[in-house]
Structure 1
Amino acid sequence: MLSASACALGVGYLVVADPHDPNTVMPVCPTKIVTGLDCPACGGLRLVHDLLHGHARAAVHDNLFILLCSPVLMYLIWRQGRAVSLGEQARVPRPLAYGLAGAALVWMAVRNLPGWPLTPTSI
């Protein structure tokens, strides 16, 4: 219940705060700070903000990987929540976990190539 409340508060903040604006208070990506590279999740907050405001094209630019993986991720979150409510465990199948991790690493490499057109949008 606490996780759902925190998630709802975070989404509510993204409704009113624009992460594209550098003056808006948002968490900073540790990977970006340390390496200067966009991690697989960089642009995720901008993506959610854009989707909440109906800006699908900007969402694609912010993080195509998370956008395409979101149905699988939402299913896994729902499955875990259901298992917890029943007092059970819901393990992610190993092939799926390795597949998502591998795809995230490939996405990180590709999105940091010079000239890659899908970069997170900003003001």
Structure 2
Amino acid sequence: MTAGVAAAATVVLAVRDPHVPGSYGFCPLLALTGFACPACGGLRATHDLAHLDLASAWAANPLWVLLVPLVVAAWVVWVVRAARGRPGPRFPVAVGWALLAVVVAFGVARNLPPLVPYLTPWLG
């Protein structure tokens, strides 16, 4: 079921272009502060990945482009193990903390003026 929902959401994003202003609403943090959150550009990146446009996806949200293959791989491992009647792998708590640190660091870095042209080019 999870795969079906993810596939349906990707199809919707592939068909309905999030690059069009107002097509999917707005990021509250960006609207209120002018700062891009770590997820800003994720819909655009997913749309671009669905169209196999890696360069545009990277420009929209490089962290999302890096995380998607990892999330898909983790999900596939979970599905295969579940199909074999084995419990899914347990990730150490340190992995969760490391992921949180990466997301927070990316959220800060993408709003630093010298890095905006590289991490958030659509903002500048």
Q: Same fold (TM over 0.5)?
A: yes
Q: CA deviation at 1:27?
A: 5.4
State how far apart, in whole Å, the 2-side matches of 1:7 and 1:28 are: 21
The counterpart of 2:45, out of the listed 44, 47, 59, is: 47
State the number of aligned residues: 120
Cα distance 1:92–1:20, how it changes in 2: closer, same or farther (>3 A)? same
With a CA cutoff of 8 Å and minimum separation of 6, indicate the structure with the bigger relative contact order. 1
The yes-or-no answer on 1:4 pairing with 2:3 is yes
SS in 2 for 1:70: helix
Unaligned runs of 5+ in 2: none
Query: Which residue is 1:95 aligned to?
Result: 94
Q: Percent identity?
A: 33
Q: CA deviation at 1:52?
A: 1.7
Cα distance 1:98–1:14, how it changes in 2: closer, same or farther (>3 A)? same
State how far apart, in whole Å, the 1-side matches of 2:82 and 2:27 are: 29
Unaligned runs of 5+ in 1: none
Give yes or no for contact 1:44–1:66 (8 Å, CA) kept in 2: yes
What residue identity is the alignment partner of 1:56? Answer: L
- Mapping 1:9-88, distance limit 5 Å: 9-24=8-23, 26=24, 28-33=26-31, 35-85=33-83, 86=85, 88=87
Cα distance 1:120–1:9, how it changes in 2: closer, same or farther (>3 A)? farther
State how far apart, in whole Å, the 2-side matches of 1:35 and 1:84 are: 43
Give yes or no for contact 1:31–1:39 (8 Å, CA) kept in 2: yes
State how far apart, in whole Å, the 1-side matches of 2:33 and 2:73 are: 32
RMSD: 2.5
